[in-house]
Amino acid sequence: MAGLSFCGNNVTKNAYSVDTGMLNNGCFVDALNLVPHVFLLFITFPILFIGWGSQSSKVQIHHNTWLHFPGHNLRWILTFTLLFVHVCEIAEGIVSNKQMDTNHLHLFMPAFMGFIAATTSVVYYHNIETSNFPKLLLALFIYWVLAFITKSIKLWKFAEYGVGVLHLRFCITALLVVLYGLLMAVEINVIRVRRYVFFANPQKVKPPEDLQDLGVRFLQPFVNLLSKATYWWMNPLIIGAHKRPIELKKIGKLPIAMRALTNYLKLKDAYEDQRNAEDPEKAPSIWRSMYRAFGRPILLSSTFRYLADLLGFAGPLCIYGIVEHLNKKPVPYFEVYFMSSNELLQNTSVLAVLLFLALVLQRTFLQASYYVTIETGINLRGALLAMIYNKILRLSTSNMSMGEMTLGQINNLVAIETNQLMWFLFLCPNLWAMPVQIVMGVILLYYLLGTSALIGASVIVLLAPVQYLIATKLADTQKSTLDQSTERLKKTTEILKGIKLLKLYAWENIFCDSVEDTRGKELTSLRTFALYTSMSIFMNAAIPIAAVLVTFVSHALINKSKPSSSEAFAALALFHILVTPLFLLSTVVRFAVKAMVSVQKLGEFLQSDEIGDDSWRNGDMSVSLEACKKHPGATKAINRKQPLLYQMDSYEQPTRRPLRPNETEDVAVKVNSGFFTWGSNLSTLSDINICIPTGQLTMIVGQVGCGKSSLLLAMLGEMQTLSGKVYWSKLPVSEMLHEANSKNRYSVGYATQKSWLLNATVEDNITFGSPFNKQRYKTVIDACSLQPDVDLLPFGDQTEIGERGINLSGGQRQRICVARALYQNTNIVFLDDPFSALDIHLSDHLMQEGILKFLQDDKRTVVLVTHKLQYLIHADWIIAMKDGSVLREGTLKDIQTHDVELYEHWKTLMNRQDQELEKDTEIDNCQTALERKTLRRAFYSREAKNQVDDDEEEEEEEEEDDDNMSTTTSRRSKIPWRVCWQYLSSGGFLMVFLMVFSKLLKHSVMVAIDYWLAEWTAKGNLLVNGTAYDSYYVPVFIILCGAGIALCLITSLTVEFLGLSAATNLHHNLLNKIIHAPIRFFDVTPLGQILNRFSADTNIIDQHIPPTLESLTRSTLLCLSAIGVIAFVTPSFLIALIPLAVSFYFIQKYFRVASKDLQDLDDSTQLPLLCHFSETAEGLTTIRAFRHESRFKQKMLELTDTNNTAYLFLSAANRWLEVRTDYLGAVIVLTAAVASIWSSGKNLPSSMVGLGLTYALTVTNYLNWVVRNLADLEVQMAAVKKVNSFLSTESENYEGSMDTSQVPEDWPQHGEIKIQDLCVRYDPLLKPVLKHVNVYINPGQKVGICGRTGSGKSSLSLAFFNMVDVFEGYCPLYTTFCRGPVIVSMFNLDPERTCTDDRLWEALEIAQLKNMVKALTGGLDAVVTEGGENFSVGQRQLFCLARAFVRKSSILIMDEATASIDMATENVLQKVVMTAFADRTVVTIAHRVHTILEADLVIVMKRGNILEIDKPETLLENEDGMFASFVRADM
């Protein structure tokens, strides 16, 4: 027992004597120091273990993370420092104790107890804090006071005995006194603020708002410091992900401080504050606004970054110390047990522990810095998105239509520019941290190796510009690749949209080649991209090798001696540290440049034209975003928003017509001498004087392109007014009171000509944010005859429609838009050509039920633009337009009396008597429309297809019961090896072999280089005569380094080109598969889904998989080689490796699953956000007419927040992983160091220890990359899987088709059509749509086919072309076809480029387009924008006709070719068809029966059978016949 006495048992001195006074015995003072620690442990342990079930219910709160007490973070920081100092104290005590002749426990025992007490204090504090029971803090307060007093006594005694700063123990004690004092102060502060003792009334506290909200799950801002640093609070989420996938519900809402609205207001304030009165035109600087709004967190992050970088240098220095001092035995002192400060730093074990602590701290600070920047970046993105959105809502329409601001640009702003700014913020602290890091590194290198280090460093610095050059080149190539792929996508989209047409004309291969052509160009730039990427990877890997080579060779030449192993390996570690900032610097600089461009674009966008302040229509604008905040100019703002109530009595009557008594009544909208333009100074509408009578039906008529739609927009304030005024009447006072509470007082129900749907359910599209009223909803649905369509949808009116939902046909979309305008409770309804895509029955029904009944009963003012002149008799007021000005206005009677000519013109057009429309009794029973049929077909098969998809997804799950969690778990943590193999094999086996081989070789050479360095520095000691040994060390070193550099180049090239060949093959196969798929496939698969394969997935395969693959293989091999080296140096390390490997396995397993879920969430929440932006930009006029801006803003904020939540959780999960892998890395370093210190006695050369430690340090950097890359690759492989799933579709049936070259020039010569017993169905699963049809058509006959919508007319025409499943009978023929306005913009009239210009002009003349095309810039070569947006719907249809005329085939089939053309144009067309095609067979599928009255033969179809077939005259004689009833209805 003698060996363990507390004060030691020195025989000569009585250790326990207190002759000189109690406090002068050092041992007694140390014992006194034990008292506070023991006191704390005795008091707190019972409390900690008994627990406090009773206390926690005091505050109802669902997170136990609420930090109540002030000074919270300071306390944690002080406690951690305290623990560190205690560790130093223990170390110092043990080292001093070793030098005494007997054991003196008092040297380290109190310190050890202090360590335990400090740990306990923080646990105790945390428990008190989360259960909010401050009275128990008294125990801590007493502890701090006692500890402070006892330590002060010790310090005072030291000073008295002349122990000073040179002695380590004095410094430690002084530090402890300061820390205890500070902790005591923190405790006093808590008492002062919370008043829990010594005060009568304790302070009541409420938890922060976020924590009261159970929806907030992102706890990073609220948890304690330790949990903040290690992301401990993420554990339940990440581990839970293994059992069931993370859903949106699980990640909840964002804390208020991170919401887009909060940040938007911050940024907006900073932006608006810069506007000054003197120079209102000057645009505020976005940079300055960003700095003002988000500067502070960036500074905080930079501070963390500096701390981390400085701690990073501890690694090399500790290696230097350990290797240097391994073989030196200390000289023992006897009496004195006060060691000097630098002696401790020469103890290798202490250095190993310090190295470990430094690594842990460095990594913690680094992750903290990353986290803060990412959070700030996300906040910034949210704010920018809100700013952009607000601007979009105010954009002037002319900007959009004149093409100054395209949808593409807006989408780019949202998807690209904001993200680039966000990324710039992420990398921003690097900009100022890196130079400091580089300078420090170079200084340390110089200190280790002298001038040769500078030479080596200069290699790195000189090659940095080359890296920058490569980086900029990369960015340029990426841009050109992007342009090419956009071009390719545009072509692909057009092919897919017009796929029916291509198959009809058998143009698949022409267009396919055109896409392959663009893809070829894209691949060329991808090849360049791959080259530059591999160069950049190569530079990264080769620069450190080159630097090391130059350094050591020059050192050997200059100093004529070798470096010592401690210097060599410290230098090696430093080079590893230096490479990262230099490599990143080029990236950061590139991002900074990109960010500048983005800011410039954003600035231009925010300064672009806004719509005029339409105060005349400014009813009660519902709360806008800014109104959420009180701003000083409130009174001004409110006044501006008051409606300017114009008195309507004072206006002059237009002089053109005599005043009639009934017209003095109220006018809803009036335009006075208005000149309006779309942005150029040429007025589109000139000299407009009109009034729209309140509560009446006004119709606007005129030819295609005469400005009818523009007139509506002008009244809505969407056009730029050159001169004149638009007045909106004020509501009668009674109604004002009645409607004061309804928010759409001044909103206008508006249905555009080009229907605009939201990506939402049918019901949402119709109610459009208004409260749901069942009765009203039903009436509207019936009026628009939508019920049958809704019944067909898989989920009724809860089915998603819109871009990403179900593809509805034009008529269905249009009716939904009209229904929206009817449903809204607005006083005024504008309908822009609502009948264009509807057949006669639907039109009549809509006119009668919807417009005449529903709207007029409500006394709503209706303005209707239409081509259907037969409805003019219902109009209370008519405005006739011509070439941008008003030709006539008045009632039908007025026009009849005053403008006989016009009236007669109309009459001939209508060729019908002025009689009420006979209501057709059969309308309702026959409403199984073709559209509905396609819908139904699409659904059945789509459901079948979805099931197939789901089966594929879940095939592995289905095998066992669903509730058997283990199967899902294993499936979710499996790596998709099969898909990886498919990917690699599509790259080619030679490339795969090359890649694997060169990678393995390269890493072996890298290890060989370092091993040789170790040998050289160790053996060089045996120098006999100067240079004998160096003679062969240096050349071998040079050869190895050269080989290493060469291999770096080879590996980087093989990976990139493997990826490239895989991408080429995958896209080629995909395109051919899709283009040759049967038409059925396109009915079933949503367009968006197919396009996604060509856009997002192809992009991932092209550009993202290769670098990920490269990075994954590199980091895995680096980690493996490092572990190999350490195990080779110190085999005992392998024992420690087992638990490390197990923990690493679990970390990566949990992380990969969670990360994949979060990444999916991020992707799936990003799509709706981008869609919402593009949707808003498309439907601007509608949203503004309805006055729904604030609702859309609200939705945008919600979508942004959802996406940001997902992104935040994703980045927090990445931090979670990195903190854990970094700590594992630190443990590896510690074990490696300890193992090598232990085995150093067993003659292990110090150079080998250096080698092992240097490698151990690199592991920390690469462990997390292995996992991150693995997770990324897993997500990216999903793209390959999706593409592969499309590669399994079967191709169309091409039996019996000939090569085009074999088809005779003039085929078919005669144009006779024989149809025998034809049966057609759309899918083997569905019923036939045509049943046993027999027809014989003579050459040159003009045939009309009519029938109710959905009777099989179009199916018949498709059967002509073998486009549907003809399963009985036959129908031989090849022809031209024309239906529906699909314009393919590449080469519209003549894709085969075989016709002369004259022929094209002739075709255009026939289609009444010649004059219009002549007026275009470029004539025949004029550009048609995407989807033909720069032509009106009617003009687009005429183009399609012209396209059919260009092909001089002997049979022409016209399907609904004239649905949205006004009657005048249509009559001309009919004549033209009769003349231009006099000698050819023409089959017309008619919507309006009168168009086929002149035909030679009429076929009437019903439900897939031919009902009547004969000459029209014969059919008309049969009064009860179907045809006769059609003609009566259409007259």
Convert 531-565 into a string of H (helix), E (strand) and C (coil): HHHHHHHHHHHHHHHHHHHHHHHHHHHHHCCCCCH
Ranges 211-215, 954-958, 1274-1278, most confident? 1274-1278
Is residue 602 within 8 A of residue 388, CB to CB? The reply is yes
Ranges 568-582, 985-999, 1332-1346, 1439-1453, most confident? 985-999
Read off the pLDDT of each residue in 1255-1270 and give the average, rounded to a whole number. Answer: 87
Q: Is the pLDDT of residue 340 over 50?
A: yes
Q: Is the pLDDT of residue 626 over 50?
A: no
Q: Is the pLDDT of residue 475 over 60?
A: yes
Rg, the chain, Cα only: 41
pLDDT in tens, 1122-1160: 999 999 988 888 888 899 999 999 998 899 899 989 988
- Say which residue, 892 or 1387, is predicted with more confidence: 892
The order of strands in the sheet holding 697-701 is 748-751, 828-832, 861-865, 697-701, 877-882, 885-890
- Say which residue, 1254 or 22, is predicted with more confidence: 1254
Bond before 1339 cis per omega within 30 degrees: no
Q: Is the pLDDT of residue 917 over 50?
A: no
pLDDT in tens, 358-402: 999 999 999 999 999 999 999 999 999 999 999 988 887 766 655
Residue 1487 carries which DSSP code?
Answer: S
Q: Is the pLDDT of residue 180 over 80?
A: yes
- Say which residue, 1377 or 76, is predicted with more confidence: 76
Q: Is the pLDDT of residue 1285 over 90?
A: no
What is residue 359's predicted lDDT score, i.e. its pLDDT?
93
pLDDT in tens, 1108-1124: 998 899 999 999 999 99
Where do runs of H (alpha helix) occur along 899-988?
A: 900-910, 930-958, 965-973, 977-987
Average pLDDT, the chain: 78
pLDDT in tens, 1425-1484: 555 556 666 666 677 677 777 766 677 777 665 555 666 666 776 777 777 777 778 888
- Say which residue, 624 or 271, is predicted with more confidence: 271
Q: Is the pLDDT of residue 177 over 90?
A: yes
Read off the pLDDT of each residue in 1179-1191 and give the average, rounded to a whole number. Answer: 88
> Tokens for 508?
């698949």
Hey, how many other C-beta atoms are within 10 angstroms of the C-beta on 698? 22
What is residue 1229's predicted lDDT score, i.e. its pLDDT?
92
Q: Are strands 1497-1502 and 748-751 parallel, antiparallel or unpaired?
A: unpaired
Q: Is the dihedral of CA 177, 181, 187, 190 positive or negative?
A: negative
Q: Give which of 1377, 1378, 1357, 1387 is closest to 1437, Cα–Cα.
A: 1378
In angstroms, the CA 1523 to CA 1489 distance is 8
Hey, how many other C-beta atoms are within 10 angstroms of the C-beta on 1358? 23
HSE-CB of 1340 using CA atoms within 13 angstroms: 3
In angstroms, the CA 153 to CA 887 distance is 106
Read off the pLDDT of each residue in 998-1010 and give the average, rounded to a whole number. Answer: 93
Q: Is the pLDDT of residue 1002 over 90?
A: yes
In angstroms, the CA 250 to CA 598 distance is 34
Q: Is the pLDDT of residue 1099 over 90?
A: no
What is residue 777's predicted lDDT score, i.e. its pLDDT?
92
The full DSSP string for 182-240 is: HHHHHHHHHHHHH--SSSSSPPP----HHHHSTTB---TTTS-HHHHHHTGGGHHHHHH
- Say which residue, 624 or 1076, is predicted with more confidence: 1076
What is residue 1504's predicted lDDT score, i.e. its pLDDT?
78
Read off the pLDDT of each residue in 312-328 and give the average, rounded to a whole number. Answer: 84
Q: Is the pLDDT of residue 688 over 80?
A: yes
Read off the pLDDT of each residue in 1511-1520 and give the average, rounded to a whole number. Answer: 82
Read off the pLDDT of each residue in 1041-1058 and give the average, rounded to a whole number. Answer: 91
- Say which residue, 60 or 1103, is predicted with more confidence: 1103
> Tokens for 1223?
């700590």
Long-range Cβ contacts of 992-997 (<8 Å, 24+ apart): 992/1058, 994/1054, 994/1058, 995/1051, 995/1054, 995/1055, 995/1058, 995/1113
In angstroms, the CA 412 to CA 421 distance is 13
Residue 920 three-state SS: coil
Q: Is the pLDDT of residue 1294 over 60?
A: no
Calculate what percentage of the chain has a pLDDT beyond 90. Answer: 18
- Say which residue, 56 or 1162, is predicted with more confidence: 1162
Produce one character per residue of 212-235: b if its CB has 16 or more CB atoms within 10 Å, e if not. Answer: eeeebbbbbbbbbbebbbbbebbe
What is residue 334's predicted lDDT score, i.e. its pLDDT?
32
Read off the pLDDT of each residue in 444-459 and give the average, rounded to a whole number. Answer: 88
What is residue 1386's predicted lDDT score, i.e. its pLDDT?
35
What is residue 967's predicted lDDT score, i.e. its pLDDT?
43
- Say which residue, 296 or 58, is predicted with more confidence: 296
In angstroms, the CA 665 to CA 533 distance is 74
What is residue 912's predicted lDDT score, i.e. its pLDDT?
46
Which pTM does this prediction carry? Answer: 0.78
Calculate what percentage of the chain has a pLDDT beyond 70. Answer: 78
In angstroms, the CA 390 to CA 264 distance is 10
Read off the pLDDT of each residue in 627-634 and give the average, rounded to a whole number. Answer: 35
State the SS3 of 93-124: HHHHHHCCCCCCHHHCHHHHHHHHHHHHHHHH
pLDDT band at residue 744, thresholds of 50, 70 and 90? Answer: very low
Read off the pLDDT of each residue in 410-415 and give the average, rounded to a whole number. Answer: 84
Any bridge partners for residue 943, and if so which?
A: none
Read off the pLDDT of each residue in 1011-1020 and give the average, rounded to a whole number. Answer: 82
Q: Are strands 748-751 and 1505-1510 parallel, antiparallel or unpaired?
A: unpaired
Ranking 33-47, 770-784, 833-847, 1147-1161 by mean pLDDT, the lowest is 833-847
Ranking 7-11, 566-570, 627-631, 1078-1082 by mean pLDDT, the lowest is 627-631
What is residue 1024's predicted lDDT score, i.e. its pLDDT?
45
